[in-house]
Structure 1
């Protein structure tokens, strides 16, 4: 027992400087802001000034800071498929602590006019519907089309924060509402009224609900914000200034989020596709870490402490693999390892997606 205590103490002392260094560093995971069109991201890029550009397929990502806040601006391109694909890439490659989907929209609510902003209390994909059978020649009855999806609600803290800065917006009013999403641009007044009356939609656009669903799947906090760039109800034509006005408001929201919202840094661990109950990783300084022993034992490895060499010894897939102290970090008596290092040292496959770590043999 005494030997075990001595070994544990020695191990902790060796790694203590790493623990102190990690605790003093600052969180670097960005807040993600999305826009489909050039005009919906241009203002953010101007405010960043210096930024890094990365392109994957047709999707562009811009990393930098706005008002001192780390952000990644994602140009999703137009439409629900593009929004889903680019959001998945965003989560995989940038590990954002929150996603704000924003941009222009058409008005549905008669109480709203051009330049008014809708903070999404809900978003709904109204393009996924079922129509009842009607015989040939009976015509089309959109009133009996049944929307099959349920609305998606935003992260409550993000939503509350956005509404708390509504009075900072100077170009119209900011309201809570329902953002309707589909790959359609509705200009028929009766159709717009029908959507508003049956679903409560305040505005329509082509991305928000898709992003909300992907964010929900990977448990990433999400918020939708849309500005009315036009309204068929009042013959208010599209005005490109609306994109900048929306961006101005979103930046106020970002600043308030950074100063007032605390995000969970916990990561659920999955080994070979199965949830490891009770085993949590976490983000530290923007990097994903997992408990070394728990992660490897969940794959069937044996983990021991070599007191003579003062290193962790692992038997993994029949191979004896030593782990240097410099390759781990001690936190609350537990040795942690970066997910990337886990992959390099032991040859396992890893992915960090939203609030989960996936490890495969």
Structure 2
């Protein structure tokens, strides 16, 4: 029953997002599993022109990141004249949106993949700004599935030093100190520990402007916690929320922010809640569509108000 439930959800996403393309690929929308969905999306990507030579653009593009096909498909389909690049098996699709160059990268899941693909993208495409987006699990019981967290800052909730305890004393991870992750500081010209990375103020303000102008999105300022974990221990989630102010958790944002700090590239993380075990056991991965729709509006305003001003 659960597989059929997720199949129906994914089918609904494909129907609302891009029915014409799905029909062109011969996808049977009435019976699509997650595996079949990914196979057919890969077939769609294979129909796109493959890049020949290095990327060239008169202006620096905006880079938008998502870890999975469900977090990037709508963004990629929104591009005009898309061209596919692959580096170290990561997928990059370059095109234009609102007559401005945009690159979408499918980072793949996890912190190492996020950092690696972000570094490759910065080196290859020289973006003017980076937006990392996708789904997340809620840490704040006031938030519900479908709510958007505009990341004022992010942190690695796995980067901590535990308090000493002798063998047999038991495990208590609430006795910890966040030690941060190391990134380059342009002032000291050295790598130093950052316990958190702040969003670029311009990107942050534009994201809130979009939220205020589009009341169909429920967006809040928040703190994005990143780690290679999927937490379902409500007591520990509540601890992280109380100690660090975490609004949600996911697996990529802070790693991308760390690389952008190294490179001096403006960055913001934007996440939509697909689940929140502090108030419900539901899980709706197709909320990824909501986040992509919101991010496209942010990109549109950023292009108009900042890049083409």
TM range (shorter): 0.7 to 0.9
**Aligned partner (choices 172, 182, 187) of residue 141 of structure 1:** 172
- Counterparts of 1:1-361 in structure 2, within 5 Å, are 27-149=58-180, 150-169=195-214, 171-262=216-307
Distance 1:123 1:29, change over 3 A: same
TM-score, L = length of structure 2: 0.74
Unmatched 5+ residue regions in structure 1?
1-25, 264-361
Aligned to 2:47: none
CA distance in 1, matches of 2:292, 2:100: 15
Distance 1:92 1:33 in 2: 15
Larger of the two Rg values belongs to structure: 1
Kindly state the Cα deviation for residue 68 of structure 1 after the two structures are TM-superposed. 2.2
Distance 1:170 1:115 in 2: 13
Q: Indicate if the aligned counterparts of 1:122 and 1:154 stay in contact, CA closer than 8 A.
A: yes
Q: Deviation of residue 167 (structure 1)?
A: 2.8
Q: 2:211, 2:217 within 8 Å by CA — same for their partners in 1? A: no
Q: Is the 8 A contact 1:154 1:222 kept in 2?
A: yes
User: CA 1:173–1:103 in 2, change beyond 3 Å: closer, same or farther?
Assistant: same
Q: Conserved in 2, the CA contact under 8 Å of 1:114 and 1:236?
A: no
Displacement, 1:58? 2.3
Q: Distance in 2 between matches of 1:171 and 1:239?
A: 18
What's the RMSD between the two structures over aligned residues?
1.5
Counterparts of 1:40 and 1:164 in 2: how far apart (Å)? Answer: 23
1:327 — aligned with what? none
Provide the aligned length of Structure 1 versus Structure 2: 238
**Mapped partners of 2:82, 2:244: distance in 1:** 40
> What's the offset of the Cα at 1:88?
0.5
TM-score, with length taken from structure 1: 0.64
Conserved 8 A contact 1:168-1:249? no
Contact 1:115 1:171 in 2 (8 A): no
Instruction: Write the distance in 1 (CA, Å) between the matches of 2:279 and 2:214.
Output: 22
Confirm or deny: 8 A CA contact 2:66 2:72 kept in the other structure: yes
Distance 1:108 1:243 in 2: 18
Contact kept, 8 Å, 1:126 with 1:182, in 2: the verdict is yes
Structure-1 separation of matches of 2:256 and 2:203: 15
| Contact 2:85-2:93 at 8 Å conserved across structures | yes
Task: Check conservation: 1:203, 1:228, Cα contact below 8 A.
Answer: yes
In structure 2, stretches of 5+ residues that fail to align are 1-56, 181-194
Structure whose residues are more often strand by fraction: 1
**Per-residue deviation, 1:241:** 2.4
Q: 1:58 to 1:221 in 2, by over 3 A?
A: same
Higher relative contact order (CA 8 A, sep 6+): 2
